[in-house]
Amino acid sequence: MLVNTKEMLLAAQREKSAVAAFNVFNLETVQAAVRAAELEKRPVIIALGERYFSTVDAEGFSAMVRAIAAKSEVPCALHLDHAYEKQSIVRAISCGFTSVMFDGSKYELEQNMALTLEIVELAHRSGVSVEAEIGSVSRGAFSDEEEGDGRLTDPAEAKRFVEETGVDFLAAAIGTVHGMYAGEPKIDLELLARIRSAVGVPLVLHGGSGTPDEIISKAVRTGICKVNVNTEVSLAAVAELVKFASSPNARQAHLSTVMAGLQDTMTPVMRKFVRLLGSAAE
């Protein structure tokens, strides 16, 4: 069933687990994410980035996800990821997304707070919850996200930000990167613990891909309730596609078979994250 993202994350926070938010952009990626969640009997967040609005019809996508979620055996939420434009947020709210992320991380704190507050007031009028980001997640390898400056989140700023904007969940920059790590990941779990004690809302970790399982588990135990995953799933599907393309009969294959195969490739990669996030507190 489709549920409110905030309620889903508050439930995760109570049981000290986290929900995977998969970046998706077509039917196969959505079905793989929902199937992975159903196999683990865990909730899931279907996340579409604003960047895909140029190629993915937002209204059509929302209708598709809502129909799949309605039939699903597990709670599903529909989230707009990394939106920089107010008009994208208005569009997502109008067509049934259950939460939106306003990314004002490139602005100074005061301006980020003012812009975020405006979005929170707008979204809450429609019962839609809001994620915001302070600090800035860097871009690693194979990512298609915007470049961030890698500034880590300051706990005192996070406290003020949440109090003054009324944001529902907060993306904390603690050293993870969008995409894969070029070297050793340097994740500041001590900083995460300080952010956790400064703010009460569920915290979000961007850049789940390539982060060692043990670090993800510790981050969940320290207060992360939502982990965004994109690149690791994409890399697995593309690797499978490349392998398939070099096989002798590739040119005779039907596209439907190729797409179904990619869905089957993505599902276990997503399932691994769903299981890890659900079991971190045990």
* Residues assigned a catalytic role: 81
Q: H or E segment at 24?
A: none
Give me the least distance between CB of 23 and Zn ion, in Å please: 8
Quote the DSSP letter at residue 104: -
Give me the least distance between CB of 179 and Zn ion, in Å please: 10
For Zn ion (CB under 5 A), the number of binding residues is 1
203-205 and 44-49: which strand pairing?
unpaired
DSSP string, 67-93: HHHHH-SS-EEEEEEEE--HHHHHHHH
**Range in contact with Zn ion (rule: CB under 5 A) among 21-29, 50-58, 84-92, 204-212:** 204-212
Residue closer to Zn ion (CB basis): 51 or 206: 206
Q: Are 138 and 177 in contact (CB under 8 A)?
A: yes
Residue closer to Zn ion (CB basis): 206 or 271: 206
Residue closer to Zn ion (CB basis): 215 or 241: 215
Radius of gyration of the chain (CA): 18
CA distances 192 to 171, 202, 203, Å, are: 11, 12, 9
**Range in contact with Zn ion (rule: CB under 5 A) among 39-47, 68-76, 183-191, 203-211:** 203-211
Give me the least distance between CB of 214 and Zn ion, in Å please: 22
* String marking each residue 148-187 x if it binds Zn ion according to CB under 5 A: ----------------------------------------
Residue closer to Zn ion (CB basis): 74 or 161: 161
177-178 and 169-172: which strand pairing?
unpaired
Give me the least distance between CB of 209 and Zn ion, in Å please: 10
Binding residues for Zn ion restricted to 115-144, rule: CB under 5 A: none
* Burial state string for 60-69 with b = 16 or more CB within 10 A and e = fewer than 16: ebbebbbebb
Give me the least distance between CB of 131 and Zn ion, in Å please: 10
Which residue, among 165, 273, 171, has the nearest Cα to 217 in the 3D structure?
A: 273
Residue with tokens 């895909």: 52
206 near Zn ion (CB under 5 A): yes
**Range in contact with Zn ion (rule: CB under 5 A) among 84-92, 199-207, 218-226, 242-250:** 199-207
Give me the least distance between CB of 44 and Zn ion, in Å please: 17
**Range in contact with Zn ion (rule: CB under 5 A) among 84-92, 115-123, 188-196, 200-208:** 200-208
Give residue number: closest CB to Zn ion. Answer: 206
Report how far residue 144's alpha carbon sits from residue 223's, in angstroms, rounded to the nearest whole number.
27
DSSP string, 194-243: HHHHH--SPEEE---TT--HHHHHHHHHTTEEEEEE-HHHHHHHHHHHHH
Quote the DSSP letter at residue 12: H
**Range in contact with Zn ion (rule: CB under 5 A) among 19-27, 86-94, 157-165, 205-213:** 205-213
Q: Are 115 and 83 in contact (CB under 8 A)?
A: no
Residue closer to Zn ion (CB basis): 206 or 226: 206
Residue closer to Zn ion (CB basis): 6 or 206: 206
- Hey, which residues does 205 pair with through a beta bridge? 227
Contacting residues toward Zn ion, per CB under 5 A = 206
